[in-house]
């Protein structure tokens, strides 16, 4: 399992993914789950993946091989991000058609993706592709999308994230969302790849990796934990007369 998060903002996008993959308690590895496709001044497309690693890696590899070909899988030829999401879906379904029955006796062959970015001529956009290959788009009313191990990191986003939140503030919430998930689920772990994309930049300059001992990462986690304990101590107890 993994955890991937995408946040749609007026200023741009915040995208984050962990790096842990496992095929059992004694087969744990670190694999990057965030892939980018870019053309300076024209487009930046990011794919975040969860699910069967062989399936999702095959999808990303086929899409990379198609770059510049002008063929149906060429993300550089997509006119809109919706078209790009359709290319990802078509590629994924082709891989699934090939491998599903062969993999079935051994496990689940499906995967899921977040497709995010911007193509010149339109605003930044964010899509979530389900294991069936269909997808939905983020909106101001549903501004963050998650795949993988989603439940632990969702409450803080529901409580503190707003559509007009700044990118830096949203990035902090994203890291705290990952902190909550990592504390409660061993199948999610660092490094965390975090991409803060500023609209109309068509750049991945805002991409950063947070390792398990990263000073900034530990500072945020520590301050949040201490703050929570302080608030908890100052909330009145619901029961009186008991020490």
Higher pLDDT, 119 or 19: 119
Per-domain boundaries in the chain: 3-233
Q: Report the pLDDT value the prediction gives residue 207, as an integer from 0 to 100.
A: 96
* Spatial CB neighbours of 161, under 8 Å, sequence gap ≥ 6: 7, 143, 144, 170, 173
Q: Report the pLDDT value the prediction gives residue 20, as an integer from 0 to 100.
A: 77
Q: Report the pLDDT value the prediction gives residue 205, as an integer from 0 to 100.
A: 96
Per-residue pLDDT tens over the stretch 141-195: 999 999 998 999 999 999 999 999 999 999 999 999 999 998 888 778 889 999 9
Residue 22 has pLDDT above 90, yes or no: no
In angstroms, the CA 93 to CA 238 distance is 53
In angstroms, the CA 2 to CA 101 distance is 24
Q: Report the pLDDT value the prediction gives residue 55, as an integer from 0 to 100.
A: 95
Q: How distant, in Å, are the alpha carbons of 7, 113, 121 from that of 167? A: 9, 22, 22
Range with lowest mean pLDDT among 3-7, 77-81, 104-108, 171-175: 104-108
Residue 29 has pLDDT above 80, yes or no: no
- How many Cα atoms occupy the beta-carbon half-sphere of 241 within 13 Å? 0
Q: 5 and 175 in contact (C-beta within 8 Å)?
A: no
Beta-carbon count within 10 A of 218 CB: 13
CATH number of the 3-233 domain: 3.60.20.10
Mean pLDDT of the chain: 91
pLDDT grade for 23, boundaries at 50, 70 and 90 = very low
Residue 26 has pLDDT above 90, yes or no: no
* Spatial CB neighbours of 77, under 8 Å, sequence gap ≥ 6: 70, 71
Range with lowest mean pLDDT among 24-28, 55-59, 112-116, 170-174: 24-28
């Amino acid at each position: 399992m993994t955890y991937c998060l995408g946040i749609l903002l007026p200023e741009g996008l915040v995208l984050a993914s962990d790096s842990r993959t496992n095929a059992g308690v004694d087969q744990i590895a670190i694999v990057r789950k965030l892939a980018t496709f870019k053309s300076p001044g024209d487009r930046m497309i990011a794919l975040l993946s969860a699910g069967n690693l062989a399936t999702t890696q095959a999808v990303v590899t086929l899409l990379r091989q198609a770059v510049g070909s002008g063929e149906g899988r060429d993300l550089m030829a997509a006119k809109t991000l919706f078209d790009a999401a359709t290319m990802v879906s078509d590629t994924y379904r082709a891989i699934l058609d090939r491998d599903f029955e062969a993999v079935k006796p051994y496990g689940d062959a499906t995967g899921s993706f977040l497709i995010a970015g911007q193509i010149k001529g339109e605003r930044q956009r964010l899509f979530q592709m389900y294991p069936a290959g269909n997808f939905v788009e983020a909106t101001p009313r549903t501004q963050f999308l998650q795949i993988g191990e989603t439940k632990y990191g969702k409450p803080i986003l529901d409580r503190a994230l707003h559509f007009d939140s700044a990118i830096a503030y949203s990035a902090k919430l994203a890291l705290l969302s990952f902190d909550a998930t990592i504390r409660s689920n061993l199948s999610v772990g660092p490094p965390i790849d975090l991409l803060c994309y500023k609209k109309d930049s068509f750049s991945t300059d805002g991409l950063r990796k947070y390792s398990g001992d990263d000073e900034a990462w530990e500072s945020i986690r520590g301050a949040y934990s201490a703050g929570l304990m302080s608030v908890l101590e100052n909330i009145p107890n619901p029961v009186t007369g008991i020490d």
